[in-house]
């Protein structure tokens, strides 16, 4: 049986990212898709928002992280993103 998932598709971000300094000099648009696996399955939520992952807050924090500092590699941003999501939200992956 596949775990329950929350999908956030085509989230538009701004980020200063790229290897050359010129590429990081100004923000550019990134589009991300997130697949979140909550700790609790959907049937265990009891129709209570406090039992689930607030995906509006997820989007807000992902956008803030993308602007927090320049990065050279998209892989660095992906690692920062995964770490932040797992630290701040009730996610198993």
pTM across the whole model: 0.90
Residue by residue, pLDDT tens for the chain (93 residues) are: 788 999 999 999 999 999 999 999 999 999 999 999 999 988 888 888 888 899 999 999 999 999 999 999 999 999 999 999 999 999 999
- pLDDT confidence of residue 11: 98
> Using a CB cutoff of 8 Å and minimum separation of 24, what contacts does 63-70 make?
63/11, 63/13, 63/14, 66/13, 66/14, 66/15, 66/30, 67/13, 67/14, 67/15, 67/16, 67/27, 69/16, 70/16, 70/17, 70/24
């Amino acid at each position: 049986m596949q775990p329950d998932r929350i999908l956030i598709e085509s989230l538009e971000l701004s980020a200063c990212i790229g290897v050359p300094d010129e590429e990081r000099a100004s923000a550019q648009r990134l589009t991300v898709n997130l697949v979140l696996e909550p700790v609790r399955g959907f049937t265990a939520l009891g129709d209570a928002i406090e039992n689930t992952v607030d995906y509006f807050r997820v989007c807000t924090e992902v956008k803030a992280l993308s602007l927090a500092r320049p990065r050279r590699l998209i892989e660095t941003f992906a690692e920062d993103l995964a770490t932040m999501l797992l630290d701040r939200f009730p996610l198993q992956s």
